Amino acid sequence: MAVDYEQRVDFGRLRDYRLARARAALEASGCGAFLLFDFYNIRYTTQTWIGGALGDKMTRYALLTRDGEVRLWDFGSAARHHKLYSPWLDPEHCRAGMLGLRGAIAPTAGLMSDAVREIKGLLAEAGLAGAPLGVDIVEPPFLFELQRQGLTVVDAQQHMLDAREIKSADEIMLLNQAAAMVDGVYQELVEALKPGVRENELVALVNHRLYAMGSDQVEAVNAVSGERCNPHPHNFSDRLIRPGDQAFFDIIHSFNGYRTCYYRTFSVGWSTPAQRDAYTRARGWMDAAIDAVKPGVTTDQIAALWPKATDLGFADEMAAFGLQFGHGLGLGLHERPIISRLNSMREPVELKTGMVFALETYCPAEDGFSAARIEEEVVVTEDGARVLTLFPAQDLIVANRY
């Protein structure tokens, strides 16, 4: 993504943009500081990352204060690594931290109380001792310790999601590159999708190709075929692909932190009238939503273009949540806006230039077991939606046609 003869992603500019957005959100919040455990927020403010195995254990955390300084507590030697290779951070602000690995070390060991005392001292030094502390996500024992030591804790996650809502040109380029990698994987999936292969083998193929192309995390791959298509299970199994199956896939990975959520549906060998009809209807709902995307449109207007839960045989919108669905994409898989009949009719959100989100539609087939699932990622521009997901999906593709 970087060469000396073209301007592509400017990572320095990306870091400056993200930190400035976070600082503006802190200023608007009324908090003295944000204490961040959500590893997407940590990456957004500190421009650091370590593997998901440690990143989601509620051990690494960052403190963003009103004076603009950001401090990071990380897993053991990772803190020393940041001092060497993350020159945008003050080396004195990169510290080792350990709170208990989601309870594996009991709170009675004192690690949490020590950490809170340190944080409280830093706030006092910055003149913020009496100001509210915004926290995004937190383990209950740590929250209780903050309160026990006299800190007023409020929600920071809403403010951080506000900060991450509008994507810069560099973020959009990284999202586009992440989608381009999946474009290529789908080509290989179509070639491999034939009778006798198992869903899990196809998941292995996706993981291998994405990591070979430079993905930094394959978060999940759904591989759903045959009778498993309806209802949608949101997983994969060891099922053998058979002639005439309908199969759909969702590929969720990140490139330099920026994620995809990218469904495609295929038939194997041949397609049936029921499969083609379901696909046509799912595609129609998708196209209507994409055509409606523009600045100033509200999310309830998008959701209203999709069928109601009862139209698909579900009791209510909660039971059908995620089938006709839109969600923001960025460092996180589910950012703003969230578009659904479940929430958008109650609290619509205005679309803005620079938002990036995925749109998902699903249609069960009349045969009772097949189904079509389509997803497109779009950028909101002044002229409407620009689609990032380019593997063909206007019509149902038959893989390895007989």
Quick one: 122 exposed, middle or buried, by C-beta within 10 A (0-12, 13-18, 19+)? Answer: middle
Mean pLDDT on 228-237: 97
pLDDT band for position 264 (cuts 50, 70, 90): very high
Quick one: 131 exposed, middle or buried, by C-beta within 10 A (0-12, 13-18, 19+)? Answer: middle
pLDDT of residue 194: 97
Mean pLDDT on 77-91: 95
pLDDT of residue 272: 98
pLDDT of residue 124: 94
Instruction: Name residue, tokens 């080792």.
Output: 96
Mean pLDDT on 3-27: 95
Backbone angles phi, psi at 275, to 5 degrees: -65, -45
pLDDT band for position 275 (cuts 50, 70, 90): very high
Domains of the chain, with CATH numbers? 11-163 (3.40.350.10), 169-399 (3.90.230.10)
pLDDT of residue 237: 98
pLDDT band for position 57 (cuts 50, 70, 90): confident
pLDDT band for position 204 (cuts 50, 70, 90): very high
DSSP result, 186-251: HHHHHHH-STT-BHHHHHHHHHHHHHHHT-SEEEEEEEEEGGGGSS--SS---PBP-TT-EEEEEE
Q: Is 344 helix (H, G, I), strand (E, B) or coil?
A: coil
The answer on pLDDT for 54 being more than 90 is no
What predicted TM-score, i.e. pTM, was given to this entire model? 0.96
Strand runs labelled E in 297-396 = 325-328, 335-339, 356-364, 371-381, 384-387
DSSP-based helix, strand, coil % in the chain, nearest 5: 35, 25, 40
Largest CA distance in the chain: 73
The answer on pLDDT for 40 being more than 80 is yes
The answer on pLDDT for 42 being more than 80 is yes
Mean pLDDT on 369-383: 98
